[in-house]
Amino acid sequence: MSKRGQFGHYLSGGIVAMLMVCGAARAEENTIKIGILHSLSGTMAISETTLKDAMLMLIDEQNKKGGVLGRKLEAVVVDPASNWPLFAEKARDLLGKDKVAAVFGCWTSVSRKSVLPVFKELDGLLFYPVQYEGQESERNVFYTGAAPNQQAIPAVDYLMSQEGVKRWVLAGTDYVYPQTTNKILQAYLQSKGVAKDDIMVNYTPFGQSDWQTIVSDIKKFGSAGKKTAVISTINGDANVPFYKELANQGIKAEDIPVVAFSVGEEELAGLDTGPLVGHLTAWNYFQSVDTPANAQFIKTWRAFTKNDKRVTNDPMEAHYIGFNMWVKAVEKAGTTDPDAVIDAIVGVSVPNLSGSYSTMMPNHHITKPVLIGEIQADGQMQTVWQSSGLVVGDEWSDYLPDSKDLIADWRKPLSCGNFNVATGKCGGQGTN
Protein backbone atom coordinates (compact mmCIF):
# COMPACT_ATOMS: atom_id res chain seq x y z
CA MET A 1 0.00 0.00 0.00
CA SER A 2 1.31 3.47 -0.88
CA LYS A 3 2.02 6.02 1.80
CA ARG A 4 -0.97 7.98 0.51
CA GLY A 5 -3.11 4.85 0.75
CA GLN A 6 -1.81 4.11 4.24
CA PHE A 7 -2.56 7.69 5.26
CA GLY A 8 -6.07 7.41 3.86
CA HIS A 9 -6.55 4.10 5.67
CA TYR A 10 -5.45 5.56 9.01
CA LEU A 11 -7.46 8.68 8.37
CA SER A 12 -10.63 6.78 7.62
CA GLY A 13 -10.09 4.53 10.63
CA GLY A 14 -9.55 7.58 12.81
CA ILE A 15 -12.69 9.20 11.48
CA VAL A 16 -14.71 6.06 12.22
CA ALA A 17 -13.33 5.92 15.77
CA MET A 18 -13.98 9.62 16.25
CA LEU A 19 -17.52 9.28 14.95
CA MET A 20 -18.15 6.37 17.33
CA VAL A 21 -16.92 8.44 20.28
CA CYS A 22 -18.98 11.43 19.18
CA GLY A 23 -22.02 9.20 18.70
CA ALA A 24 -21.63 7.77 22.19
CA ALA A 25 -21.20 11.29 23.58
CA ARG A 26 -24.32 12.47 21.76
CA ALA A 27 -26.28 9.49 23.06
CA GLU A 28 -25.17 10.36 26.59
CA GLU A 29 -25.99 14.03 26.05
CA ASN A 30 -29.38 13.03 24.72
CA THR A 31 -30.42 11.39 27.99
CA ILE A 32 -32.22 13.38 30.65
CA LYS A 33 -30.39 12.92 33.94
CA ILE A 34 -32.36 12.55 37.17
CA GLY A 35 -30.59 13.00 40.51
CA ILE A 36 -31.32 10.65 43.42
CA LEU A 37 -30.20 12.19 46.72
CA HIS A 38 -30.91 9.66 49.49
CA SER A 39 -28.79 8.28 52.32
CA LEU A 40 -27.62 4.76 51.53
CA SER A 41 -25.52 4.55 54.71
CA GLY A 42 -25.69 5.96 58.21
CA THR A 43 -28.61 6.28 60.61
CA MET A 44 -31.18 7.21 57.94
CA ALA A 45 -30.35 4.41 55.51
CA ILE A 46 -33.08 2.30 57.17
CA SER A 47 -35.64 4.67 55.65
CA GLU A 48 -33.96 6.19 52.60
CA THR A 49 -32.42 3.26 50.74
CA THR A 50 -35.81 2.01 49.62
CA LEU A 51 -36.58 5.45 48.13
CA LYS A 52 -33.49 5.17 45.93
CA ASP A 53 -34.78 1.81 44.71
CA ALA A 54 -38.24 3.26 44.14
CA MET A 55 -36.82 6.05 41.98
CA LEU A 56 -34.79 3.57 39.92
CA MET A 57 -38.00 1.61 39.32
CA LEU A 58 -39.96 4.72 38.29
CA ILE A 59 -37.20 5.77 35.89
CA ASP A 60 -37.05 2.26 34.44
CA GLU A 61 -40.82 2.17 33.94
CA GLN A 62 -40.80 5.59 32.26
CA ASN A 63 -38.02 4.50 29.90
CA LYS A 64 -40.14 1.50 28.89
CA LYS A 65 -42.78 4.04 27.83
CA GLY A 66 -40.23 5.85 25.65
CA GLY A 67 -38.76 8.21 28.21
CA VAL A 68 -39.70 11.89 28.27
CA LEU A 69 -39.85 14.16 25.21
CA GLY A 70 -38.44 11.27 23.20
CA ARG A 71 -35.34 11.01 25.40
CA LYS A 72 -34.35 8.27 27.83
CA LEU A 73 -33.93 9.04 31.50
CA GLU A 74 -30.65 8.33 33.28
CA ALA A 75 -30.43 8.00 37.06
CA VAL A 76 -27.50 9.62 38.86
CA VAL A 77 -27.32 8.10 42.36
CA VAL A 78 -25.27 9.62 45.18
CA ASP A 79 -24.94 8.76 48.87
CA PRO A 80 -24.96 11.72 51.30
CA ALA A 81 -24.54 9.13 54.07
CA SER A 82 -26.88 10.71 56.66
CA ASN A 83 -24.37 13.59 56.81
CA TRP A 84 -26.35 16.83 56.57
CA PRO A 85 -23.60 19.12 55.15
CA LEU A 86 -22.71 16.37 52.66
CA PHE A 87 -26.25 16.64 51.26
CA ALA A 88 -25.41 20.16 50.08
CA GLU A 89 -22.15 19.02 48.48
CA LYS A 90 -23.84 16.15 46.67
CA ALA A 91 -26.68 18.43 45.53
CA ARG A 92 -24.14 20.88 44.10
CA ASP A 93 -22.44 18.06 42.21
CA LEU A 94 -25.74 16.79 40.83
CA LEU A 95 -26.81 20.22 39.59
CA GLY A 96 -23.43 21.70 38.65
CA LYS A 97 -21.44 18.73 37.34
CA ASP A 98 -23.99 16.12 36.35
CA LYS A 99 -26.48 18.71 35.03
CA VAL A 100 -29.51 16.77 36.26
CA ALA A 101 -32.93 18.04 35.22
CA ALA A 102 -34.45 17.37 38.65
CA VAL A 103 -33.50 15.86 41.99
CA PHE A 104 -35.62 13.50 44.04
CA GLY A 105 -34.34 13.23 47.57
CA CYS A 106 -33.76 14.10 51.24
CA TRP A 107 -35.66 12.68 54.19
CA THR A 108 -34.93 14.72 57.31
CA SER A 109 -35.74 18.40 57.33
CA VAL A 110 -32.16 19.20 58.33
CA SER A 111 -30.98 17.59 55.09
CA ARG A 112 -33.58 19.55 53.13
CA LYS A 113 -32.59 22.80 54.84
CA SER A 114 -28.96 22.02 54.01
CA VAL A 115 -29.62 21.82 50.26
CA LEU A 116 -32.07 24.73 49.89
CA PRO A 117 -29.41 27.40 49.21
CA VAL A 118 -27.88 25.19 46.50
CA PHE A 119 -31.17 24.70 44.67
CA LYS A 120 -31.90 28.43 44.83
CA GLU A 121 -28.42 29.41 43.65
CA LEU A 122 -28.27 26.91 40.77
CA ASP A 123 -32.01 27.07 39.98
CA GLY A 124 -32.53 23.33 40.40
CA LEU A 125 -35.69 21.36 41.14
CA LEU A 126 -36.07 19.29 44.32
CA PHE A 127 -38.94 16.89 44.89
CA TYR A 128 -39.12 16.22 48.62
CA PRO A 129 -41.17 13.10 49.52
CA VAL A 130 -41.41 13.03 53.31
CA GLN A 131 -43.78 14.48 55.89
CA TYR A 132 -42.33 17.62 57.39
CA GLU A 133 -42.98 20.53 59.75
CA GLY A 134 -44.24 23.09 57.24
CA GLN A 135 -43.28 26.74 57.81
CA GLU A 136 -41.64 26.82 54.40
CA SER A 137 -42.41 27.26 50.72
CA GLU A 138 -39.60 27.54 48.20
CA ARG A 139 -39.88 28.20 44.49
CA ASN A 140 -37.43 25.41 43.66
CA VAL A 141 -38.95 22.76 45.94
CA PHE A 142 -42.04 20.60 45.53
CA TYR A 143 -43.28 19.15 48.81
CA THR A 144 -44.98 15.84 48.03
CA GLY A 145 -44.96 14.60 51.65
CA ALA A 146 -47.45 15.72 54.28
CA ALA A 147 -47.58 19.11 55.95
CA PRO A 148 -48.70 19.08 59.63
CA ASN A 149 -52.36 19.62 58.70
CA GLN A 150 -52.19 16.47 56.53
CA GLN A 151 -50.80 14.21 59.26
CA ALA A 152 -50.07 15.58 62.75
CA ILE A 153 -53.24 17.61 63.35
CA PRO A 154 -55.62 14.87 62.09
CA ALA A 155 -53.80 12.31 64.27
CA VAL A 156 -54.32 14.45 67.37
CA ASP A 157 -57.98 14.99 66.47
CA TYR A 158 -58.45 11.24 66.09
CA LEU A 159 -56.88 10.47 69.46
CA MET A 160 -58.98 13.16 71.14
CA SER A 161 -62.29 12.11 69.63
CA GLN A 162 -61.89 8.34 69.30
CA GLU A 163 -59.52 7.44 72.15
CA GLY A 164 -60.43 10.17 74.67
CA VAL A 165 -56.79 11.18 75.14
CA LYS A 166 -56.23 13.95 77.73
CA ARG A 167 -52.43 13.84 78.29
CA TRP A 168 -49.85 14.04 75.54
CA VAL A 169 -46.23 12.93 75.20
CA LEU A 170 -44.52 14.62 72.26
CA ALA A 171 -41.43 12.45 71.69
CA GLY A 172 -39.08 13.31 68.86
CA THR A 173 -35.59 13.23 67.45
CA ASP A 174 -33.70 16.43 68.22
CA TYR A 175 -33.87 18.38 64.97
CA VAL A 176 -36.07 20.84 63.13
CA TYR A 177 -38.97 18.60 62.01
CA PRO A 178 -39.95 17.26 65.45
CA GLN A 179 -39.22 20.58 67.16
CA THR A 180 -41.38 22.66 64.82
CA THR A 181 -44.12 20.04 64.51
CA ASN A 182 -44.33 19.79 68.30
CA LYS A 183 -44.41 23.58 68.59
CA ILE A 184 -47.44 23.55 66.30
CA LEU A 185 -49.02 20.64 68.19
CA GLN A 186 -48.51 22.35 71.55
CA ALA A 187 -50.25 25.48 70.25
CA TYR A 188 -53.03 23.36 68.76
CA LEU A 189 -53.54 21.30 71.92
CA GLN A 190 -53.67 24.42 74.09
CA SER A 191 -56.21 25.96 71.69
CA LYS A 192 -58.31 22.87 72.44
CA GLY A 193 -58.08 23.48 76.18
CA VAL A 194 -55.24 21.09 77.05
CA ALA A 195 -53.24 22.36 80.06
CA LYS A 196 -49.47 22.81 79.78
CA ASP A 197 -49.01 20.29 82.60
CA ASP A 198 -50.72 17.68 80.45
CA ILE A 199 -48.08 17.98 77.70
CA MET A 200 -44.68 16.31 78.05
CA VAL A 201 -42.00 17.02 75.44
CA ASN A 202 -38.85 14.95 74.99
CA TYR A 203 -36.08 15.01 72.37
CA THR A 204 -33.32 12.50 71.74
CA PRO A 205 -30.34 12.45 69.33
CA PHE A 206 -30.31 10.57 66.04
CA GLY A 207 -29.45 6.94 66.67
CA GLN A 208 -30.57 7.02 70.32
CA SER A 209 -30.20 3.49 71.69
CA ASP A 210 -30.87 3.71 75.45
CA TRP A 211 -34.59 4.33 76.04
CA GLN A 212 -35.02 2.83 79.50
CA THR A 213 -35.21 6.10 81.46
CA ILE A 214 -37.27 7.94 78.84
CA VAL A 215 -39.85 5.16 78.53
CA SER A 216 -40.00 4.96 82.33
CA ASP A 217 -40.76 8.70 82.40
CA ILE A 218 -43.49 8.22 79.79
CA LYS A 219 -44.99 5.41 81.85
CA LYS A 220 -44.98 7.58 84.96
CA PHE A 221 -46.52 10.53 83.07
CA GLY A 222 -49.28 8.22 81.87
CA SER A 223 -50.15 7.01 85.38
CA ALA A 224 -51.92 10.21 86.47
CA GLY A 225 -55.40 8.85 85.83
CA LYS A 226 -55.91 10.54 82.47
CA LYS A 227 -55.80 8.75 79.12
CA THR A 228 -52.31 9.35 77.68
CA ALA A 229 -50.89 8.97 74.18
CA VAL A 230 -47.47 9.39 72.60
CA ILE A 231 -47.07 11.45 69.43
CA SER A 232 -43.83 10.12 67.96
CA THR A 233 -41.62 12.10 65.61
CA ILE A 234 -38.68 9.79 66.30
CA ASN A 235 -36.78 9.24 63.06
CA GLY A 236 -34.50 6.59 61.67
CA ASP A 237 -33.06 3.52 63.37
CA ALA A 238 -33.74 4.88 66.89
CA ASN A 239 -37.28 3.56 66.47
CA VAL A 240 -36.10 -0.04 66.84
CA PRO A 241 -34.87 0.22 70.48
CA PHE A 242 -37.70 2.66 71.33
CA TYR A 243 -40.43 0.15 70.53
CA LYS A 244 -38.46 -2.68 72.12
CA GLU A 245 -38.26 -0.72 75.35
CA LEU A 246 -41.99 0.02 75.29
CA ALA A 247 -42.56 -3.73 75.16
CA ASN A 248 -39.94 -4.39 77.83
CA GLN A 249 -41.76 -2.07 80.23
CA GLY A 250 -45.15 -3.55 79.40
CA ILE A 251 -46.61 -0.47 77.70
CA LYS A 252 -49.42 -1.71 75.48
CA ALA A 253 -51.44 0.15 72.89
CA GLU A 254 -54.60 0.00 74.98
CA ASP A 255 -52.77 1.68 77.87
CA ILE A 256 -50.66 4.36 76.16
CA PRO A 257 -51.10 4.30 72.38
CA VAL A 258 -48.23 5.57 70.26
CA VAL A 259 -49.01 7.25 66.95
CA ALA A 260 -45.90 7.50 64.79
CA PHE A 261 -45.28 9.86 61.89
CA SER A 262 -41.98 8.36 60.75
CA VAL A 263 -42.61 4.63 61.09
CA GLY A 264 -43.99 2.82 58.09
CA GLU A 265 -43.95 -0.59 56.51
CA GLU A 266 -40.23 -0.40 55.68
CA GLU A 267 -39.20 0.31 59.28
CA LEU A 268 -41.59 -2.32 60.65
CA ALA A 269 -40.08 -4.95 58.35
CA GLY A 270 -37.01 -4.89 60.62
CA LEU A 271 -38.89 -5.18 63.92
CA ASP A 272 -40.54 -7.86 65.99
CA THR A 273 -44.00 -6.42 65.48
CA GLY A 274 -45.76 -8.55 68.10
CA PRO A 275 -45.48 -5.98 70.93
CA LEU A 276 -46.42 -3.14 68.53
CA VAL A 277 -49.80 -4.52 67.54
CA GLY A 278 -52.48 -1.91 68.17
CA HIS A 279 -50.16 1.10 68.11
CA LEU A 280 -50.89 3.61 65.38
CA THR A 281 -49.28 5.36 62.44
CA ALA A 282 -50.52 8.39 60.53
CA TRP A 283 -49.65 8.67 56.85
CA ASN A 284 -51.26 9.40 53.49
CA TYR A 285 -50.76 5.92 52.04
CA PHE A 286 -50.50 2.36 53.31
CA GLN A 287 -49.45 -0.73 51.40
CA SER A 288 -52.75 -2.27 52.50
CA VAL A 289 -54.79 0.28 50.48
CA ASP A 290 -57.09 -1.81 48.30
CA THR A 291 -57.12 -0.23 44.84
CA PRO A 292 -56.15 -1.56 41.38
CA ALA A 293 -53.48 1.13 41.06
CA ASN A 294 -51.86 0.08 44.34
CA ALA A 295 -52.01 -3.62 43.46
CA GLN A 296 -50.21 -2.89 40.19
CA PHE A 297 -47.65 -0.69 41.96
CA ILE A 298 -46.84 -3.45 44.48
CA LYS A 299 -46.58 -6.03 41.68
CA THR A 300 -44.23 -3.80 39.67
CA TRP A 301 -42.14 -3.03 42.76
CA ARG A 302 -41.64 -6.67 43.68
CA ALA A 303 -40.83 -7.63 40.10
CA PHE A 304 -38.29 -4.80 39.84
CA THR A 305 -36.60 -5.69 43.14
CA LYS A 306 -36.94 -9.44 42.46
CA ASN A 307 -38.22 -9.82 46.01
CA ASP A 308 -41.79 -10.87 46.79
CA LYS A 309 -41.39 -9.66 50.38
CA ARG A 310 -40.38 -6.05 49.66
CA VAL A 311 -42.92 -3.66 51.15
CA THR A 312 -44.12 -0.28 49.95
CA ASN A 313 -44.64 2.83 52.05
CA ASP A 314 -45.84 6.42 52.08
CA PRO A 315 -42.67 8.25 50.93
CA MET A 316 -42.47 5.82 47.99
CA GLU A 317 -45.95 6.89 46.95
CA ALA A 318 -44.90 10.53 47.35
CA HIS A 319 -42.03 9.91 44.90
CA TYR A 320 -44.47 8.12 42.58
CA ILE A 321 -46.73 11.19 42.62
CA GLY A 322 -43.90 13.72 42.37
CA PHE A 323 -42.13 11.90 39.56
CA ASN A 324 -45.30 11.61 37.51
CA MET A 325 -46.04 15.29 38.13
CA TRP A 326 -42.55 16.20 36.88
CA VAL A 327 -43.04 14.07 33.74
CA LYS A 328 -46.41 15.67 33.04
CA ALA A 329 -45.08 19.20 33.64
CA VAL A 330 -42.08 18.60 31.35
CA GLU A 331 -44.34 17.30 28.62
CA LYS A 332 -46.66 20.27 29.13
CA ALA A 333 -43.76 22.73 28.97
CA GLY A 334 -42.01 20.90 26.13
CA THR A 335 -38.69 21.27 27.94
CA THR A 336 -36.85 20.25 31.13
CA ASP A 337 -35.87 23.89 31.78
CA PRO A 338 -36.49 24.44 35.53
CA ASP A 339 -38.23 27.81 35.13
CA ALA A 340 -40.60 26.42 32.51
CA VAL A 341 -41.34 23.35 34.65
CA ILE A 342 -42.03 25.51 37.71
CA ASP A 343 -44.57 27.51 35.69
CA ALA A 344 -46.13 24.38 34.17
CA ILE A 345 -46.45 22.15 37.23
CA VAL A 346 -48.96 24.16 39.28
CA GLY A 347 -52.38 22.63 38.71
CA VAL A 348 -50.99 19.35 37.38
CA SER A 349 -52.98 16.35 38.66
CA VAL A 350 -51.86 12.73 38.60
CA PRO A 351 -53.29 9.53 40.07
CA ASN A 352 -52.23 8.62 43.58
CA LEU A 353 -52.35 5.02 44.81
CA SER A 354 -55.47 5.49 46.92
CA GLY A 355 -57.84 5.76 43.97
CA SER A 356 -57.99 9.53 43.57
CA TYR A 357 -55.90 12.29 41.98
CA SER A 358 -53.36 14.49 43.75
CA THR A 359 -52.82 18.03 42.50
CA MET A 360 -49.84 20.38 42.77
CA MET A 361 -51.10 23.55 44.40
CA PRO A 362 -49.75 27.12 43.97
CA ASN A 363 -47.89 26.75 47.31
CA HIS A 364 -45.90 23.80 45.86
CA HIS A 365 -47.65 21.36 48.19
CA ILE A 366 -50.05 18.68 47.02
CA THR A 367 -53.50 17.42 47.90
CA LYS A 368 -53.51 14.12 49.82
CA PRO A 369 -55.89 11.83 51.72
CA VAL A 370 -55.07 11.32 55.41
CA LEU A 371 -55.00 7.79 56.82
CA ILE A 372 -54.58 6.53 60.37
CA GLY A 373 -53.62 2.88 60.63
CA GLU A 374 -53.33 0.30 63.36
CA ILE A 375 -50.17 -1.80 63.25
CA GLN A 376 -50.86 -5.48 62.56
CA ALA A 377 -48.75 -8.51 63.47
CA ASP A 378 -47.54 -8.83 59.87
CA GLY A 379 -46.17 -5.27 59.87
CA GLN A 380 -49.00 -3.91 57.74
CA MET A 381 -51.51 -1.21 58.71
CA GLN A 382 -55.24 -1.60 59.04
CA THR A 383 -56.89 1.73 58.27
CA VAL A 384 -59.01 2.82 61.24
CA TRP A 385 -59.77 6.34 59.99
CA GLN A 386 -59.58 8.17 56.69
CA SER A 387 -60.30 11.78 55.76
CA SER A 388 -63.54 12.29 53.85
CA GLY A 389 -61.65 13.79 50.92
CA LEU A 390 -58.28 15.15 49.88
CA VAL A 391 -56.60 17.68 52.15
CA VAL A 392 -54.63 20.64 50.76
CA GLY A 393 -51.18 20.95 52.34
CA ASP A 394 -50.95 24.09 54.50
CA GLU A 395 -47.41 25.43 54.21
CA TRP A 396 -47.78 28.00 57.02
CA SER A 397 -49.48 26.92 60.26
CA ASP A 398 -52.65 28.68 61.32
CA TYR A 399 -51.79 27.96 64.96
CA LEU A 400 -48.55 29.95 65.29
CA PRO A 401 -48.81 33.74 65.56
CA ASP A 402 -45.83 34.37 63.29
CA SER A 403 -47.31 32.38 60.41
CA LYS A 404 -51.09 32.54 60.73
CA ASP A 405 -51.34 35.39 58.18
CA LEU A 406 -48.92 33.90 55.64
CA ILE A 407 -49.67 32.11 52.38
CA ALA A 408 -47.53 30.98 49.46
CA ASP A 409 -48.39 31.34 45.78
CA TRP A 410 -45.68 30.78 43.20
CA ARG A 411 -47.82 31.78 40.23
CA LYS A 412 -46.95 34.99 38.50
CA PRO A 413 -47.27 37.86 39.23
CA LEU A 414 -47.33 37.13 43.01
CA SER A 415 -44.52 34.51 42.97
CA CYS A 416 -44.07 34.64 46.74
CA GLY A 417 -43.41 31.99 49.36
CA ASN A 418 -44.66 33.97 52.35
CA PHE A 419 -47.17 36.61 51.36
CA ASN A 420 -48.70 38.33 54.40
CA VAL A 421 -52.42 38.71 53.76
CA ALA A 422 -52.71 41.20 56.64
CA THR A 423 -50.01 43.60 55.39
CA GLY A 424 -50.26 42.79 51.69
CA LYS A 425 -46.48 42.33 51.50
CA CYS A 426 -44.14 39.50 50.51
CA GLY A 427 -41.58 38.76 53.22
CA GLY A 428 -38.02 37.60 52.96
CA GLN A 429 -38.15 34.00 54.12
CA GLY A 430 -39.28 31.48 51.55
CA THR A 431 -39.13 33.90 48.64
CA ASN A 432 -37.04 33.73 45.52
pLDDT at 272: 81
At residue 311, the 3 state secondary structure works out as coil
Binned at pLDDT 50, 70 and 90, residue 185 comes out as very high
pLDDT at 27: 46
DSSP state at residue 197 = G
**Which pLDDT tens digit goes with each residue over 335-370?**
999 999 999 999 999 999 999 999 999 999 999 999
Mean pLDDT throughout 122-142? 97
Binned at pLDDT 50, 70 and 90, residue 133 comes out as very high
**Which pLDDT tens digit goes with each residue over 200-210?**
999 999 999 99
CA angle, residues 50, 123, 318, in degrees to nearest 5 = 30
Rounded to whole angstroms, how far apart are CA atoms 315 and 152? 16
Binned at pLDDT 50, 70 and 90, residue 3 comes out as very low
Q: Is 199 left (phi over 0), alpha (psi -120 to 50) or beta?
A: beta
Q: How many CB atoms within 10 Å of residue 4?
A: 8
Total-model pTM: 0.89
| DSSP per position, 210-267 | --HHHHHHHHHHTTSSS-EEEEEE--GGGHHHHHHHHHHTT--TTTS-EEESS--HHH
DSSP state at residue 41 = S
Pairing state between β 258-260 and 199-204: unpaired
* Average pLDDT over the chain, rounded to an integer: 92
Mean pLDDT throughout 60-79? 98
| % pLDDT > 90, the chain | 85
DSSP state at residue 148 = G
Binned at pLDDT 50, 70 and 90, residue 271 comes out as confident
Binned at pLDDT 50, 70 and 90, residue 59 comes out as very high
Q: pLDDT at residue 91 above 90?
A: yes
Q: pLDDT at residue 418 above 80?
A: yes
pLDDT at 237: 84
**Which pLDDT tens digit goes with each residue over 14-54?**
554 444 444 444 444 699 999 999 999 999 998 899 999 99
Q: Which of 33, 42, 203 lies closest to 111, judged by CA?
A: 42
Rounded to whole angstroms, how far apart are CA atoms 282 and 31? 38
Q: Which of 399, 406, 398, 397 lies closest to 424, judged by CA?
A: 406
Binned at pLDDT 50, 70 and 90, residue 276 comes out as confident
Q: pLDDT at residue 333 above 70?
A: yes
Phi, psi (5° rounding) for residue 373?
-125, 150
